Amino acid sequence: MQTQPNPTETNRIPAKDSNFLQQNPHLGELPKDGFDAQNPPKPELIDTCVHCGFCLATCPSYRVIGKEMDSPRGRIYLMDAIHNGEAELEPATVQHFDSCLGCLACVTTCPSGVQYDKLIAATRPQVERNVPRSIGDRLIRSLIFNLFPYPDRLRPLLYPLMAYQKSGLQNLVRSTGLLNRWLPRLGAMESILPQITPDAFKPNFPDIIPAQGEKRYRVGMLLGCVQQLFFNPVNEATARVLTANGCEIVIPKSQGCCGALPAHQGQEAQAQELARQNIDSFEGTDVDFVIINAAGCGHTLKEYGHILKDDPDYREKAEAFTEKVKDINEFLSAVELTAKLHPITDEELAIVYQDACHLIHGQKISSQPRELLRQIPNITLREPLDAALCCGSAGVYNMLQPEVADDLGQQKVENLVNTGASLISSANPGCSLQIKKHLNLQGREMPLRHPIELLDLSIRGEKLTV
């Protein structure tokens, strides 16, 4: 692992005034192909970057890899060079765009207000359209994007996966280390496989769940794709907390994946298709808000206006939809809890809350989940070192870039455990899987729960069991 850069040494090195291309000959000297005409990164957004370097210390890929071109500043320089015909859009440059986790920490940090999120979001579809990938890369990406966003395709695999776990075959495969050695990406995918439980096979929710007591709001609820199969207890807890606080819940059967996984990796058409499906699902339901309990999903749902900006039939519908989207922590904090809260432990319980990147950086939600947790009697919160640093999950990044992701996962778990807390609370399924993996790898036993699961226990007056 590279030593963390010292911001005082790097934050005043202007990339455009350096011999950047000469120092990186693998980027190519003569241009062949640049960005195509379909929504390339906008030069006016590129030009807002003054290359001050404040982003370097907060960029997880730069902190691990330690190379300028694997930082936001370096990637923006590459975008500018490709746009000006000084570098090619080819595998040598693409590797630096691929190394970006999309955590958006640089957006939070940047003193110049550079919209790096829009720049990388515009660059990734360009890569997918114009740069051929290796056979191995195409296979793993095809598996991910044709399976994970579709619960009906994934559900039949739960039976053999449960047998794989129950039979002891999983322990044997992991003990040999052969999968990680010969097929590291497939090994990374297997390493975050959660324990398959009967909850994954439960029937779907009813279309409408009535509010308890006086109805305050009528809300829609997104179930997610991976969330509804591997984290169904979180969805059940979300429904109970919402109804206990006066919400009538609408759950359309036609809803699907939010589109986060393909959207974050430049699979533009697939993300647009999934966005339209969800907009259509909630059209005419007359809900006040659309509630989501997964950080990455919530960020993408709030981006539907951007994802469908070029669709004349859905542009306005998308904007109206995003206005209603609320993260569950954001929503409950704003409307305030009306249900009585009870202690979930007999003695004081120290909890460390883990900030998911697409909550803290993407949606600017950080204080709300902490405020909700503090309302539970006997709960105290502890703060970890580098709380805003990505855990390495980043959608499917930990499957596509396992080495960098593992370094970040190890750091994240060490920082969480070092708080001395007895429980970790995380509001994103990808983060939860990544953290559990590295807790296991480090031989640490520490329970992890979604904040809403803890609120649910408190409302019901049940004690926490681990």
Residue 4 has pLDDT above 60, yes or no: no
Give the Cα separation of 351 and 338 in Å (integer).
23
Calculate what percentage of the chain has a pLDDT beyond 70.
93
Close Cβ partners of 232 (under 8 Å, ≥ 6 residues apart): 199, 200, 202
Residue 142 has pLDDT above 70, yes or no: yes
pLDDT at 13: 41
Q: Mean per-residue pLDDT for 119-125?
A: 96
Per-residue pLDDT band for 21 (boundaries 50, 70, 90) equals: low
pLDDT at 28: 45
Give the Cα separation of 301 and 320 in Å (integer).
11
Calculate what percentage of the chain has a pLDDT beyond 90.
85
| Dihedral, 460, 432, 298, 398 alpha carbons, nearest 10 | -170
Per-residue pLDDT band for 23 (boundaries 50, 70, 90) equals: low
Give the Cα separation of 319 and 432 in Å (integer).
30
pLDDT, one tens digit per residue, over 418-435 is 999 999 999 999 999 999
pLDDT at 9: 39
pLDDT at 325: 98
User: Does the model's pTM come out above 0.75?
Assistant: yes
Q: What are phi and psi of 249, to 5 degrees?
A: -110, 135
How would you write the chain as a 3-class SS string? CCCCCCHHHHCCCCHHHCCHHHHCHHHCCCCCCCCCCCCCCCHHHHCCCCCCCCCHHHCHHHHHHCCHHHCHHHHHHHHHHHHCCCCCCCHHHHHHHHCCCCCCHHHHHCCCCCCHHHHHHHHHHHHHHHCCCCHHHHHHHHHHHHHCCCHHHHHHHHHHHHHHHHCCHHHHHHHHCHHHHHCHHHHHHHHCCCCCCHHHHCCCCCCEECCCCCCCEEEEECCCCHHHHHCHHHHHHHHHHHHHCCEEEECCCCCCCCCHHHHHCCCHHHHHHHHHHHHHHHCCCCCCEEEECCHHHHHHHCCHHHHCCCCCCCHHHHHHHHHHEEEHHHHHHHHCCCCCCCCCCCCCEEEEEECCHHHHCCCCCCHHHHHHHHCCCCEEEECCCCCCCCCCCCCCHHHHCHHHHHHHHHHHHHHHHCCCCCEEEECCHHHHHHHHHHHHHCCCCCCEECHHHHHHHHHHCCCCCC
pLDDT at 199: 79
Per-residue pLDDT band for 22 (boundaries 50, 70, 90) equals: low
pLDDT, one tens digit per residue, over 164-202 is 999 999 999 999 988 888 899 999 999 999 989 887 887
Strand partners, 448: 424
User: Which range has the worst mean pLDDT, 9-18, 36-45, 227-236, 255-264?
Assistant: 9-18
- Radius of gyration over every alpha carbon of the chain, rounded to an integer in angstroms: 22
pLDDT at 3: 44
Residue 8 has pLDDT above 50, yes or no: no
Q: Mean per-residue pLDDT for 80-97?
A: 94
Give the Cα separation of 134 and 142 in Å (integer).
12
| Burial of residue 21, with CB atoms counted within 10 A of its CB: 0-12 exposed, 13-18 middle, 19 or more buried | middle
Per-residue pLDDT band for 12 (boundaries 50, 70, 90) equals: very low
Q: Mean per-residue pLDDT for 141-158?
A: 92
Mean pLDDT of the chain: 91
Residue 399 has pLDDT above 60, yes or no: yes
Give the Cα separation of 439 and 324 in Å (integer).
36
pLDDT, one tens digit per residue, over 315-374 is 999 999 999 999 999 999 999 999 999 999 999 999 999 999 999 999 999 999 999 999
pLDDT, one tens digit per residue, over 237-295 is 999 999 999 999 999 999 999 999 999 999 999 999 999 999 999 999 999 999 999 99
Give the Cα separation of 409 and 433 in Å (integer).
10
Q: Mean per-residue pLDDT for 387-411?
A: 95
pLDDT, one tens digit per residue, over 46-59 is 999 999 999 999 99
